[in-house]
């Protein structure tokens, strides 16, 4: 069985502060991990996938197989980063398992 855990429902930070959104997963095989972002009342958009190892909008995420984690980080939060962030895992097949999401609120 595959499982994704996002322990924080809400994360509130000040503008310019570092951000870390936590994601832990459970999967017996070799997973593929993603971060999706959903701005207010909009569609989910792909933010990052671990195999591409890129930085999007200043966000990065590193897959740590030892800790089974894929935390999302940004050194300096911006107001426009306020959104819902979902971590997702793809194991066998094409099915995605999503975490429950973390609402990021960036305050001025």
Partner 1 sequence: DARVTQTPRHKVTEMGQEVTMRCQPILGHNTVFWYRQTMMQGLELLAYFRNRAPLDDSGMPKDRFSAEMPDATLATLKIQPSEPRDSAVYFCASGLPRQPQHFGDGTRLSIL
Applying CB under 8 A, the residues found at the interface with partner 1 are 34, 36, 42-46, 49, 86, 93-101
Report the candidate in 54, 34, 55 with the shortest Cα–Cα distance to residue 45: 34
**Tokens 């097949």 identify what position?**
93
- What's the CA gap between 96 and 91, in Å, rounded? 8
Cβ 38 to partner 1, closest distance in Å? 9
DSSP 108: -
Cβ 58 to partner 1, closest distance in Å? 20
Nearer to partner 1, 55 or 78 (CB): 55
Nearer to partner 1, 11 or 96 (CB): 96
Cβ 53 to partner 1, closest distance in Å? 15
Nearer to partner 1, 78 or 100 (CB): 100
Nearer to partner 1, 59 or 86 (CB): 86
Report the candidate in 104, 107, 95, 105 with the shortest Cα–Cα distance to residue 4: 95
Cβ 95 to partner 1, closest distance in Å? 6
Side-chain-side CA neighbours of 84 within 13 Å: the count stands at 15
């Amino acid at each position: 069985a595959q499982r994704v855990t996002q322990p924080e429902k809400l994360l509130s930070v000040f503008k310019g502060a570092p951000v870390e959104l936590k994601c832990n997963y459970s999967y017996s095989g070799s997973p593929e991990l993603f971060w999706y972002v959903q701005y207010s009342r909009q569609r989910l958009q792909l933010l990052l996938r671990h195999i591409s190892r890129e930085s999007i909008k200043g966000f990065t995420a590193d897959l740590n197989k030892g800790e089974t984690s894929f935390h999302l980080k940004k050194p300096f939060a911006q107001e426009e980063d306020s959104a819902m962030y979902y971590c997702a895992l793809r194991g066998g097949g094409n099915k995605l398992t999503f975490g429950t999401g973390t609402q990021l609120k960036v305050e001025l």
